[in-house]
């Protein structure tokens, strides 16, 4: 028989129905008449998959025969979002599936809603990884995305008495049709123990690691389809399994808990995603997770992906491991261990190879977000890796001494090992030293990364540093999420913008076309109504049909300043209830928030509580005649984003300048025709440069101004005293009227703002309010607003993740 893949089912309604019923009968083991919605969803997912598998197998075979360099994307997070729609889009099966389900008496929309999205990430960094693998498949670039198959993803957020409560995300509980487990391809990963160094006959030192315990990594494969190009890449996520299920002797003696103790311990490694996103916790389990998935991935590539007799001296020709932040950086000493201890390479040769095989992306500017591991912990869990890190450091510091004779302070500053009461390994330094390139994720952040975070390194190796501005996939976030706008765009400029987003430029002339503007407005209105239907069904929220939709969705963090948004809302409410402005004279706004707080982040949770409290009070106050309303649907995730983003009029990107590395939500909103109110931060800077000052509402301190203010001794109280509106707003927020008369309930946040305000919300309040007044004025002229919105779409094609991928290819991977 033929060796190639068998043909997929026919690309027709009949072919689809037939394949679907087969999956239902033979896959789920049920008759259509007896099937549950979940049966139907699982069968549908497997049916759509059948159309992709041939392309996947062919892509795999093609990659194995060729000798192109493969991108090994190493990421602890992939925030994928739902798979069904994406697969339907990639296969152009949307309409066929719709009709096929109708013929079976089923509703495709209902089956879609059955899918629980794989929330294997926290926010921006994880979603970026998902966009990148989408783009690489669409560009037909060989890529394996490596990561962890967490049994529980990011927690599901609920509100109890206006406060956040977390529920485990058991996304696998109803079956997971998108994955292909390969238990037979298990990889053994070792931990703990000690090392032994011996000298061989030639007088060469050889170190062996004698570990204390181990676990198995089981790979689960997921398809990553390119957009209608037949190319399908692989995402390979690792799940931890105990080497021994239980101790039979202990079990027989009756101590059942003890019998499975070591199994539970091992399998905890891939149990749950850490929900912190910028406060690294020096938790042992987290380091276990990192080493676990990186060790599995390097082993998988070297032993199972490369040809049998591959000459590892040529490794850099076949692989580049891209380090998505510092989380996989332990891969650097791991590759050294493989080459030196297992494959017998000399240190220097192994080091030259290793450095060529890694590149590092830094996603932050917050010093507290840079990972460091206590030497004690790292040495206990990975003793051989610690030795290797020490040797890397010794050699590197010799290089520094040679380049800067007599500069002991510099040597101390640049050491991978931070001295102090608790010696610690600085993972960002290890990544910078052990990789061929270092990049930031937006122009401003890359500049600050060079100048402030890693200044000594960029002085030593200026050419190692580069910028690659983030991007988002236009497939999911425009074509799929906003079908009405997609159709309108395609009618105007043809369909190829989906894979060549700069073509959106062709829309510019339409901004001056009254007929087009009307259609554009109708799309926006329809998207709002779609969102409101969703929020009614999902959260029981009732929202007015006609109001400006003002949106702030992102992780809850003080630096992102949801508080500033809250102060704006309270100030408008104050205008109304004090009688300064009548409801009829105010530009009506609906504020939408979406935000999860890390479970241990106290202040973030206080902010959530106050947003909910303020929202409830405003929504219930009849005096304001519905001029303002606040919606905070719980559990913001990718699925909800796909409804929120296309509906927004105004995008809030209001971080303190110098704190948001890039942002990617900002790009999604602009591409969907929202106008941005934002600070000069992250990728906002580039958005504004592209759309033009007239189509962007800028406010706030610049990064150097914020630095200066801090250096001069920032005093939030001074702003409180000198600005009457700010005083009234904060007093109202602290008065207790939003918290059932209990002023103490708002005190933690209000006091923090008055006495500390680490992210300078009070300093930017006046400027923010003025910018919001400009927003109101602009919104009153709906033609001019729509014109700006169209120009935002037309001018932000740069933010396609396809472009980001080309930049990585040019500046990092094939440079
Ligand atoms: C160390 C651990 C606690 C940790 C886990 C997750 C640290 C950081 C993160 C996630 C960080 C993150 O999502 N950063 C965001 O990356 C986006 C993609 O580059 C940026 O757009 C965004 O500005 C940045 O905050």
Measured from the CA of 660, which atom of ligand 1 is nearest?
23
The 10 Å CB-count burial string (b at 16+, else e) for 762-793 is bbbbbebbebbeebeebbeeeeebbbbbbbbb
Could you tell me the distance, in angstroms and rounded to a whole number, from the CA of residue 661 to the centre of ligand 1? 8
The mean per-residue pLDDT over the stretch 549-565 comes to 98
Distance of CA 335 to the CA centre of its chain: 26
* Residues 6+ away with beta carbon under 8 Å from 455: none
Distance CA 65, CA 71 (A): 16
DSSP structure string for 581-606: S-GGGS--EEEEEE-PPPTT-HHHHH
- Ligand 1 atom 10 nearest Cα: 277
> Model confidence at 201, in pLDDT bands (50, 70, 90)?
confident
Residue tagged active-site, from 363, 561, 596, 605 = 363
Collapse the DSSP code of 143 into the 3-class scheme (helix H, G, I; strand E, B; otherwise coil) and give the result.
Answer: strand
Q: Which burial class, exposed, middle or buried, applies to 678 when counting CB atoms under 10 A from its CB (0-12, 13-18, 19+)?
A: buried
- Ligand 1 atom 4 nearest Cα: 277
Residue 121 Cβ contacting ligand 1 at under 6 Å: no
The mean per-residue pLDDT over the stretch 360-381 comes to 95
Residue 90 Cβ contacting ligand 1 at under 6 Å: no
Residue 123 Cβ contacting ligand 1 at under 6 Å: yes
Mutate to test the pocket of ligand 1, among 123, 655, 668, 799 (most ligand atoms within 8 A of CB): 123
pTM value is 0.98
Give the pLDDT confidence score for residue 278 in this predicted structure: 82
Residue 432 annotated among the catalytic residues of the structure: no
Residue 555 annotated among the catalytic residues of the structure: yes
Residue 668 annotated among the catalytic residues of the structure: yes
Q: How far is CA 50 from CA 16, 184, 384, 536, 806, in A?
A: 10, 23, 45, 35, 30
Give the pLDDT confidence score for residue 258 in this predicted structure: 86
Give the pLDDT confidence score for residue 260 in this predicted structure: 86
* pLDDT above 90: residue 92: yes
The angle, 0 to 180 degrees and rounded to 10, between the axes of the packed helices 13-22 and 37-65 is 100
Q: How far is CA 735 from CA 72, 595, 719, 749, 797, in A?
A: 54, 25, 19, 12, 46
* pLDDT above 90: residue 200: no
* Widest CA span in the chain: 92
Distance CA 523, CA 529 (A): 10
Residue 664 Cβ contacting ligand 1 at under 6 Å: yes
Distance CA 731, CA 569 (A): 14
Beta-carbon count within 10 A of 208 CB: 12
Measured from the CA of 77, which atom of ligand 1 is nearest?
6
Residue 396: which of 347, 342, 468 has the closest Cα?
A: 347
The mean per-residue pLDDT over the stretch 723-732 comes to 98
* pLDDT above 90: residue 204: no
Fold of the CATH domain 67-81+117-436? Rossmann fold (3.40.50)
β-partners of residue 120 are 78
Could you tell me the distance, in angstroms and rounded to a whole number, from the CA of residue 279 to the centre of ligand 1? 10
Q: For residue 556, report the phi and psi dihedrals to the nearest 5 degrees.
A: -80, 120
Give the pLDDT confidence score for residue 461 in this predicted structure: 98
Residue 659 annotated among the catalytic residues of the structure: no
Residue tagged active-site, from 286, 426, 557, 560 = 560
Please identify which residue in the block is written with the tokens 């491991």: 321
Could you tell me the distance, in angstroms and rounded to a whole number, from the CA of residue 323 to the centre of ligand 1? 13
* pLDDT above 90: residue 244: no
Residue 154 Cβ contacting ligand 1 at under 6 Å: no
Question: Is 119 in contact with 157 (CB distance < 8 Å)?
Answer: no
The mean per-residue pLDDT over the stretch 296-322 comes to 97
Please identify which residue in the block is written with the tokens 């494959």: 343
Residue tagged active-site, from 437, 557, 668, 688 = 668
Question: Is 334 in contact with 298 (CB distance < 8 Å)?
Answer: yes
Could you tell me the distance, in angstroms and rounded to a whole number, from the CA of residue 152 to the centre of ligand 1? 19
* Residues 6+ away with beta carbon under 8 Å from 648: 549, 550, 551, 592, 669, 672, 674
Mutate to test the pocket of ligand 1, among 154, 278, 681 (most ligand atoms within 8 A of CB): 278
Residue tagged active-site, from 437, 555, 659, 803 = 555
Mean pLDDT estimate for the chain? 97
Question: Which DSSP helix (H) or strand (E) runs through 220?
Answer: strand 213-225
Residue 327 annotated among the catalytic residues of the structure: no
Same CATH topology for 67-81+117-436 and 474-702+765-796: the answer is: yes
- Ligand 1 atom 6 nearest Cα: 277
The mean per-residue pLDDT over the stretch 766-771 comes to 98
With the C-alpha atoms ordered 772, 776, 781, 782, is the resulting torsion angle positive or negative?
Answer: positive
Distance CA 516, CA 522 (A): 10
Collapse the DSSP code of 208 into the 3-class scheme (helix H, G, I; strand E, B; otherwise coil) and give the result.
Answer: strand
Q: Which burial class, exposed, middle or buried, applies to 722 when counting CB atoms under 10 A from its CB (0-12, 13-18, 19+)?
A: exposed
> Model confidence at 262, in pLDDT bands (50, 70, 90)?
confident
Distance CA 452, CA 126 (A): 25
User: Which is the CATH superfamily of the domain at 474-702+765-796?
Assistant: Glycogen Phosphorylase B; (3.40.50.2000)
Give the pLDDT confidence score for residue 247 in this predicted structure: 81
Give the pLDDT confidence score for residue 252 in this predicted structure: 87
Q: Domain residue spans in the chain?
A: 1-66+82-115, 67-81+117-436, 474-702+765-796
């Amino acid at each position: 028989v033929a060796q190639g893949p068998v043909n997929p089912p026919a690309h027709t309604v009949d072919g689809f129905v037939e394949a679907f019923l087969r999956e239902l009968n033979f896959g789920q083991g049920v008759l259509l008449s007896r099937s549950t919605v979940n049966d139907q969803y699982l069968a549908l997912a497997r049916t759509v998959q059948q159309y992709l598998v041939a392309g996947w197998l062919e892509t795999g075979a093609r990659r194995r025969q060729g000798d192109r360099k493969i991108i090994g994307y190493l990421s602890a997070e992939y925030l994928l979002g739902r798979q069904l729609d994406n697969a339907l889009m990639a296969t152009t099966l949307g309409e066929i599936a719709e009709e096929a389900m109708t013929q079976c008496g089923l509703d495709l929309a209902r089956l879609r809603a059955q899918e629980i999205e794989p929330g294997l990430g926290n926010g921006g960094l994880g979603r970026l990884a998902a966009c990148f693998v989408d783009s690489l498949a669409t560009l037909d670039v060989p890529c394996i995305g490596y990561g962890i198959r967490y049994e529980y993803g990011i927690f599901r957020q609920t509100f109890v008495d206006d406060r956040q409560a977390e529920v485990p995300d058991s996304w696998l509980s109803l079956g997971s049709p998108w994955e292909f487990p390969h238990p037979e391809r298990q990889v053994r990963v070792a931990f703990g123990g000690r090392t032994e160094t011996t000298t061989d006959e030639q007088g060469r030192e050889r170190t062996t690691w004698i570990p204390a315990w181990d676990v198995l990594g089981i790979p689960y494969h997921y398809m990553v389809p390119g957009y209608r190009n037949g190319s399908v890449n692989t995402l390979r996520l690792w799940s931890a399994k105990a080497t021994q299920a239980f101790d039979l002797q202990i079990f027989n003696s009756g101590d059942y808990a003890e019998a499975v103790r070591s199994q539970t311990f091992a399998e905890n490694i891939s149990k749950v995603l850490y929900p912190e996103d910028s406060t690294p916790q020096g938790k042992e389990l987290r380091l276990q997770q990192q080493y676990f998935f990186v060790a599995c991935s390097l082993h998988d590539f070297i032993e199972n992906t490369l040809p049998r007799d591959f000459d590892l001296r040529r490794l850099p020709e076949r692989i580049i491991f891209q380090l998505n932040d510092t989380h996989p950086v332990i891969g650097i000493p791991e590759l050294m261990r493989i080459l030196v201890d297992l494959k017998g390479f000399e240190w220097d040769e192994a080091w030259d190879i290793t450095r060529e095989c890694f590149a590092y992306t830094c996603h932050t500017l917050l010093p507290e977000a840079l990972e460091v591991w206590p030497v004690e912990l790292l040495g206990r869990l990975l003793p051989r890796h610690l030795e290797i890190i020490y040797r890397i450091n010794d050699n590197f510091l010799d290089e520094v001494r040679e380049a800067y004779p007599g500069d002991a302070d510099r040597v101390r500053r640049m050491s991978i090992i931070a001295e102090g009461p608790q010696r610690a390994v600085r993972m960002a330094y290890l990544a910078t030293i052990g990789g061929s390139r270092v990049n930031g994720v937006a122009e401003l952040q890359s500049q600050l990364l060079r100048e402030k975070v890693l200044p000594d390194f960029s002085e030593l190796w200026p050419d190692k540093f580069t910028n690659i501005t983030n991007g988002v996939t236009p497939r999911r976030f425009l074509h799929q999420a906003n079908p009405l706008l997609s159709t309108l765009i395609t009618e105007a400029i043809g369909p190829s913008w989906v894979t060549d987003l700069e073509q959106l430029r062709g829309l510019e002339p339409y901004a001056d076309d009254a007929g087009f503007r009307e259609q554009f407005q109708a799309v926006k209105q329809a998207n709002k109504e779609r969102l409101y239907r969703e929020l009614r069904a999902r959260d029981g929220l009732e929202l007015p049909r006609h109001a400006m939709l003002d949106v702030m969705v992102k992780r809850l963090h003080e630096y992102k300043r949801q508080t500033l948004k809250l102060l704006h809302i309270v100030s408008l409410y104050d205008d109304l209830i004090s009688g300064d402005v009548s409801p009829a004279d105010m530009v009506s706004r609906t504020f939408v928030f979406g935000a999860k707080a890390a479970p241990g982040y106290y202040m973030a949770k206080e902010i959530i509580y106050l947003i909910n409290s303020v929202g409830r009070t405003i929504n219930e106050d009849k005096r304001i005649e519905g001029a303002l309303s606040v919606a905070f649907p719980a559990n913001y995730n990718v699925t909800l984003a796909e409804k929120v983003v296309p509906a927004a009029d105004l995008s809030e990107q209001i971080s303190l300048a110098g704190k948001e590395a890039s942002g990617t939500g900002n790009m999604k909103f602009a591409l969907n025709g929202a106008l941005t109110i934002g600070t000069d931060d992250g990728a906002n800077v580039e958005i504004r440069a592209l759309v033009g000052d007239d189509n962007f509402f800028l406010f706030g301190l610049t990064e150097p101004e914020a630095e200066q203010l801090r250096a001069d001794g920032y005093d939030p109280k001074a702003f409180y005293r000198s600005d009457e509106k700010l005083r009234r707003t904060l007093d109202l927020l602290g008065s207790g009227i939003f918290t059932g008369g209990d002023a103490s309930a708002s005190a933690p946040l209000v006091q923090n703002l008055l006495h500390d305000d680490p992210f300078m919300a009070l300093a930017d309040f006046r400027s923010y309010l003025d910018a919001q007044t400009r927003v109101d004025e602009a919104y009153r002229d709906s033609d001019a607003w729509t014109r700006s919105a169209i120009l935002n779409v037309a001018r932000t094609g740069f933010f396609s993740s396809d472009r980001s991928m080309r930049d990585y290819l040019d500046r990092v991977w094939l440079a």
